[in-house]
Amino acid sequence: MSPSHWQLFLDDHALARSTGFDRVVHHPRALGVVIPADRPWETVGAAPIYVERRADGSFFAHYHAMWWDLDLGSKLEGFQKDRAHHMFLRTAIATSEDGIHWQKPSLGLAEGPAAVDATRHAPYPSPSGVSRDNNLGMPFLVVADLARHGNVTDPEKRYALRLAPDHSGPSGVGANWRNAPRGYFAREMPDFLHDTQWKDRLLDSGGNFDPRRHVLHFWDDLHGEWVAMSQGVIPHWLPSREVARFASKDLVHWTSQGVLYPDSADSHVQDRYDEPMGLTAFHAEGVAFGLLSWFHSDRSHPDAGPHLQATPEHPQVWPWCRKGTNEMRITVSRDGGVTWDRASSREAWIPHGSEEDSIDRLVIGCLPPVHVGDEDWFYTNVINGDHLGIRNDREQTLYYHDRIPVHQTALYVQKHNRYVSLRARSQTEVLITAPVRIQDSDLQINVDANRGVVRAAIALADPIPTHGGSTPSTAPHLYLENPIPGFTFHDCVPVRANSTEFTVQFGSGASLDGLRGRSVRLLFEMNDADLYGFRV
């Protein structure tokens, strides 16, 4: 384990023995919708692409503005002829001083609906008129900060950007998503509003990022390749959706592999068939975190699309079920996204709303965290209805009779790195870590002990003689009896704090400097407390 990173408890990597502890998934605090879909060009939604907190503390957001237009949509062909996709997409910007109250400045760059006609296809909203008095025209469909979230150290490749296609005419979501120009890198976020030469400052990536969704998530040092996580390896002949890892060493030649599927522990009854909808990956603390979009599909509804037909080669085509609810879960990978540990992903991290019209009936996409003080802020796509809401493709009937489910941007907040804790209840328990090498002078913990107490001890990780010295052993419980003098539970100043970065003190005045380079085990004695992680 690297001592320079926080060792968190989403999986058991840092643990040797955790008997008596509960692994608790902590739900972020919901602050509700912060970027509402409240403009004529947002009748389908305002879904987040990227949110950045600037050096002056202000916030800048890129998001998808979407509106529904049956008149134009009826002219689409093939897959896009499905009424569910009669929505049109442009990219927009919003600004905020505090990250909660957002403004949508008028840019005058792109045409969009000027008003909403509620009578043409009542009760569904139709666009009326054309105007440039809007916040549309942001030229990027994909934005990622690879320095902050992608394990990239090259300053010239801090931002990964995918340009949007020409905005001069209408185009459906599918056309925008699949046919946009290639991917680019940038040292700084391009100032397309004030810099007429902004395109000249982009670095051509040489490719178009991953071939599925054209996103880029992180650089994998272990395999020496770029990685993007997405839904599915094409074609779909499986009984469910799955998450795929797309990888490339040059951003031109890509490989893909399925890496996360439902398993026997997941629900697979007809009206609640659990499957991954997708995964947003970001790199932090030396590992890849996965914000896992988890779908509870209702397969009792006959909504398999007409574009998915059985053939002699593939007689069992899985039903592309689109009705259901969605929540966010949290998972982690320590091998560059090849395997994902599901110890913490068996339950919701951000649960969905229970009512049909809850603003968060679908919690379907979550951006990597924005750090604000000692908190992580997660801007998330929420929808006030079941996924796509189609009753039957062939009849082209909308599932809801009085509305179209709308995408909006909601905010969820939690203390930094507090996804999962190991919790001791009202009897004292001892947590024993795997060996870790000391490379600093402090032991820090992310802890909530304001209702109980935590004490720490340190033992050398060397094998301990047993059976008269004839059988050296590394059994974790033996280290409880062999702490290093000066670093016993008795020497530790009891911790009764609630802190994301608390420095443990030993009353004997002992310093970890004398242990630099040594492999040790950390011991935590806990009563009525939550421990989220540690670093030394």
Q: Mean pLDDT for each consecutive 10-residue tract of the chain (536 residues)?
A: 81 96 98 98 96 96 90 55 65 97 96 92 86 93 95 97 61 42 89 90 89 90 96 69 94 93 93 93 97 91 51 51 90 98 97 95 96 97 84 56 90 98 96 93 95 97 89 90 94 97 88 91 98 96
Distance CA 92, CA 104 (A): 8
> Which of the listed residues 416, 441, 475 is the one where a domain comes to its end?
416
Amino acid at 308: L
First to last CA, the chain: 11
Amino acid at 130: V
447 membership: H or E segment, kind and range: strand 444-448
470 falls within a domain: yes
Q: Is the domain of 237 the same as that of 385? A: yes
214 falls within a domain: yes
423 falls within a domain: no
Q: Is the domain of 401 the same as that of 517? A: no
Spell out the SS3 assignment of 93-147: EEEECCCCCEECCCCCCCCEEEEEEEEEECCEEEEEEEECCCCECCCEEEEEEHH
Q: Is the domain of 456 the same as that of 378? A: no
**Would you state the pLDDT for residue 175?**
40
1 falls within a domain: no
Pick the closest to residue 99 from 374, 382, 370, 417 (CA basis).
370
Q: Is the domain of 388 the same as that of 432? A: no
The distance of Cα 192 from the centroid of its chain, to the nearest Å, equals 27
458: CATH = 2.60.290
> Which of the listed residues 348, 381, 416 is the one where a domain comes to its end?
416
Tell me the pTM: 0.92
Pick the closest to residue 58 from 28, 105, 29, 100 (CA basis).
100
Q: Is the domain of 321 the same as that of 248? A: yes
164: CATH = 2.115.10
Query: How far apart, in Å, are the Cα atoms of 309 and each of 79, 146, 189, 319, 382?
Result: 13, 40, 44, 10, 31
Q: Is the domain of 347 the same as that of 471? A: no
> Which of the listed residues 416, 449, 471 is the one where a domain comes to its end?
416
30 falls within a domain: no
Q: Is the domain of 464 the same as that of 494? A: yes
29 falls within a domain: no
Give the β-pairing of 436-437 and 464-466. Answer: unpaired
31 falls within a domain: no
**Would you state the pLDDT for residue 274?**
95
238 φ/ψ angles, rounded to the nearest 5 degrees:
-105, 165
Q: Is the domain of 447 the same as that of 332? A: no
Domain count, the chain: 2
Q: Residue for token digits 């939690």?
A: 414
Pick the closest to residue 216 from 293, 146, 289 (CA basis).
146
Q: Is the domain of 452 the same as that of 474? A: yes
2 falls within a domain: no
- Which domain does 529 fall in, by range? 7-24+428-535
The distance of Cα 334 from the centroid of its chain, to the nearest Å, equals 16
Q: Which two tokens stand for residue 206?
A: 């040489």
Q: Is the domain of 359 the same as that of 391? A: yes
Q: Is the domain of 237 the same as that of 363? A: yes
